């Protein structure tokens, strides 16, 4: 099942994608794709619905029908750094002995095709396509063997990053990760039964048609069950929380010479079975 949120910014409604690629409205069944709607029992109830019995929404998704972030009311946006062996190598950094955890502010979250804004004073804005885990059943101290039972689904994340803020402005990485528009998620939340082998999904990103990232989740150092269990040692995980699992090689910082976004580019990125995002890049201007 592919769950989504559609409509204007701030007024998104819950829906699902049918087999014909059209959106069906879920407003009579859940208030939003958020909170309790992500619990296993609710997901099971939604899965039992017949899409053809649900109201058809006008428009073609990602063409003349805007899709919002695939999850609403996100409490925590947790990210994992240096979690692909080949990305760590291109960054000239050692594989960490434990997962590196940092945060993106939830105000960074945007729809999969909404524009990405280069913030004021930024000089090294970069891209990172990532596999996102969306928590369904919450918990603390989750055993690795039980971790997948806490997953509502998976989605595409673009962990947009301003490298100058990340590395040169003192303190933690978070300064370069949480600017507005730096967290596109979606287009849809795909339930685990449709994802298949999440350990070998193709994952890619292009800028103006040039493919910079072209990898597979098989090179992740710390796998999905371990990341869920590990994060739950330091925080309670709650329905709707997102864990973004790291990026494969091919980021702008790793090019020789480095390549960064300047404004005017179009990013296109996707993960096998999870959909595609497209974002026009613009430069911040007063009044934004």
* Residue 93 dihedral angles phi and psi, to the nearest 5°: -120, 150
pLDDT one-digit tens code per residue, 167-210:
888 878 888 899 999 999 999 999 999 998 999 999 999 999 99
pLDDT of residue 147: 98
pLDDT of residue 44: 97
Other C-beta atoms within 10 Å of 238: how many?
17
Could you tell me the two tokens for 273?
């079975």
For 64, the 3-state DSSP assignment is: coil
pLDDT of residue 168: 83
pLDDT of residue 232: 98
Q: Which long-range contacts (CB under 8 A, 24 or more apart) does 44-49 make?
A: 46/1, 46/3, 46/16, 47/1, 47/191, 47/193
pLDDT of residue 263: 97
Chain CA centroid to CA 55, Å: 27
The pTM of the full predicted model, rounded to 2 decimals, is 0.96
pLDDT of residue 169: 85
pLDDT of residue 43: 98
Options 3.40.605.10, 3.90.850.10, 1.10.357.10, 3.90.1170.50; CATH of 71-283: 3.90.850.10
**Strand (E) positions, the chain?**
2-6, 13-17, 23-25, 77-81, 100-103, 109-110, 116-118, 125-126, 129-135, 151-158, 161-162, 183-184, 189-190, 202-207, 210-216, 242-244, 266-271, 275-283
* Residue 166 dihedral angles phi and psi, to the nearest 5°: -65, -45
List the chain domain ranges. 71-283
pLDDT of residue 245: 98
Q: How far apart are CA 216 and CA 10, in angstroms?
A: 33
For 25, the 3-state DSSP assignment is: strand
Token match 């729809």: residue? 111
Mean pLDDT split into 10-residue runs, the chain, 288 residues: 98 98 98 98 98 98 98 98 83 86 97 97 96 98 98 98 89 88 98 94 98 96 97 98 96 95 98 98 88
């Amino acid at each position: 099942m592919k769950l989504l949120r559609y409509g204007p910014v701030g007024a998104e409604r819950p829906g699902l994608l049918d087999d014909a690629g059209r959106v069906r409205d879920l407003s009579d069944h859940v208030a939003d794709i958020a909170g309790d709607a992500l619990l296993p029992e609710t997901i099971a109830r939604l899965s039992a619905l017949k899409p053809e019995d649900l109201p058809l929404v006008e428009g073609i998704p990602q063409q003349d029908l805007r899709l919002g972030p695939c999850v609403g009311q996100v409490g925590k946006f947790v990210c994992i750094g240096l979690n692909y062996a080949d990305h760590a190598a291109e960054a000239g950094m050692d594989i960490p002995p434990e997962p590196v955890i940092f945060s993106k502010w939830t105000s960074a979250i945007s729809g999969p095709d909404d524009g990405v804004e280069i913030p004021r004073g930024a000089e090294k804005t970069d891209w990172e396509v990532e596999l996102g885990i969306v928590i369904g059943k919450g918990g603390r101290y989750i055993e690795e063997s039980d971790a997948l039972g806490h997953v509502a689904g998976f989605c595409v994340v673009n962990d947009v990053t301003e490298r100058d803020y990340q590395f040169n402005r003192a303190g933690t990485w978070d300064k370069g990760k949480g600017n507005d528009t730096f967290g596109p998620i979606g287009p849809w939340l795909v339930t685990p039964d449709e994802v298949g082998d999440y350990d070998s999904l193709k994952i890619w990103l292009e800028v103006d048609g040039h493919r910079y990232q072209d990898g597979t989740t098989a090179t992740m150092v710390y796998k999905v069950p371990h990341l869920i269990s590990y994060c739950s040692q330091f925080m309670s995980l709650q329905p709707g929380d997102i864990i973004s699992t790291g990026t494969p090689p091919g980021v702008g910082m790793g090019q020789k010479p480095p390549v960064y976004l300047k404004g005017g580019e179009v990013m296109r990125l996707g993960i096998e079975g999870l959909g595609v995002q497209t974002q026009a890049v613009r430069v911040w201007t007063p009044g934004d």
